[in-house]
């Protein structure tokens, strides 16, 4: 126990030796955080106390009426557990912890954490089993195709695996002048096509335009309004 007085006498005769002894005792109390099985007799606001009887670190409340627990010691494993509010997840942190892998507990997603101690598992917890590939800044824990499904050819598509947003594009074969045709998408929209536009392919420079008459999740109907046959380029979005 080291709970000596921190104040030296301010009246009467005080020898140099007594002053030095008093200062050494006060410094020892500060160095050991007033350690002891019972609380300091005359506590001050903000004073720290190492409660050796219960292996706790406490601080004196601002109104100087109570000891508030900062955390607890595991003397067997030399660990310190921070005391958190009941609404927060508890975390046991090793004294030498510098990375998340040194945590013996994890902070739940609901508490603002990732529920993991590794980057790979954190991504999986936050985004599901499909996580970003290395080329996009992820860990490559699963195939990139599970995150972005695509076919990047002349007629192709790209679909975001997180929210389902999808873009498709294609250029038809030659459609006769003043004629329409139904054209299937490179792949069906899983839910619906939301919008589509069409234009005559740049290589077909004759007069006239191209129009979209309508669409479904599987196909689009386009019309060649030009004076000669032409290929029609189409762009669509959906999910």
Looking at residue 93, what is its pLDDT?
A: 41
Write the DSSP assignment of the chain as a string of letters. Answer: -----S----SS---HHHHHHHHHHHHHHHHTTT-BSS--SS--TT-EEEETTTTEEEEE-TTSS-EEEEEEEETTTTEEEE---TTS---EEETT--SGGGBSS---GGGTS-S-SSHHHHHHHHH-S----GGGTS--SS-GGGTEEEE-SSSEEEEETTT--EEEEEE-S-B-TTEEEEEE-SS--SS-EEEEEEEE-TT--SS--EEEEEE-SSEEEEEE-SSS-B-EEEEEEE-
pLDDT tens for the chain, 239 residues long, are 577 777 777 777 778 888 788 788 778 878 888 888 899 888 889 889 889 999 999 999 999 999 999 999 998 888 888 887 544 444 444 444 444 445 556 777 777 777 877 776 776 677 655 555 554 455 555 554 556 788 998 899 999 876 789 999 999 999 999 999 999 999 999 999 999 999 988 665 566 789 999 999 999 999 998 888 899 999 999 99
Looking at residue 194, what is its pLDDT?
A: 96
Cα distances (angstroms) measured from residue 177 to each of 82, 168, 172, 223, 229: 77, 25, 14, 9, 5
So what CATH class is 150-238? Answer: mainly beta
Looking at residue 219, what is its pLDDT?
A: 96
Of 55, 60, 56, nearest to 43 (Cα)? 60
Q: Quickly count: other Cβ atoms within 10 Å of residue 30's Cβ.
A: 13
The domains of the chain are located at: 16-127, 150-238
Looking at residue 94, what is its pLDDT?
A: 40
Question: pTM of the prediction?
Answer: 0.42
- Which residues, listed in sequence order, are joined to residue 190 by a DSSP beta bridge? none
């Amino acid at each position: 126990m080291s709970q000596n007085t921190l104040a030296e006498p301010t009246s009467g005769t005080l020898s140099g030796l007594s002053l030095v002894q008093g200062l050494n005792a006060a410094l020892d109390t500060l160095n050991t955080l007033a350690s002891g099985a019972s609380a300091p007799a005359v506590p001050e606001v903000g004073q720290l106390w190492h409660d050796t009887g219960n292996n706790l670190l406490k601080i004196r409340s601002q109104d100087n009426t109570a000891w508030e627990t900062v955390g607890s010691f595991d003397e067997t494993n030399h660990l310190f557990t921070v005391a958190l509010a009941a609404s927060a997840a508890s975390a046991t942190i090793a004294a030498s912890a510098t990375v998340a892998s040194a945590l013996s507990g994890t902070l739940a997603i609901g508490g603002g954490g990732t529920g993991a101690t590794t980057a790979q598992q954190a991504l999986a917890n936050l985004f599901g089993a499909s996580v970003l590939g290395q080329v996009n800044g992820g860990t490559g824990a699963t195939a990139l195709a599970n995150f972005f499904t695509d076919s990047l050819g002349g007629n192709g598509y790209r679909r975001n695996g997180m929210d389902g947003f999808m873009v498709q594009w294609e250029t038809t074969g030659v459609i006769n002048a003043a004629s329409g045709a139904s054209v299937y998408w490179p792949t069906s929209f899983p839910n619906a096509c939301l919008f589509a536009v069409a234009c005559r392919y740049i290589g077909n420079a004759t007069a006239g335009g191209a129009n979209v008459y309508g669409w479904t999740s599987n196909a689009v109907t386009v019309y060649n309004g030009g004076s000669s046959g032409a290929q029609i380029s189409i762009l669509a979005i959906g999910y």
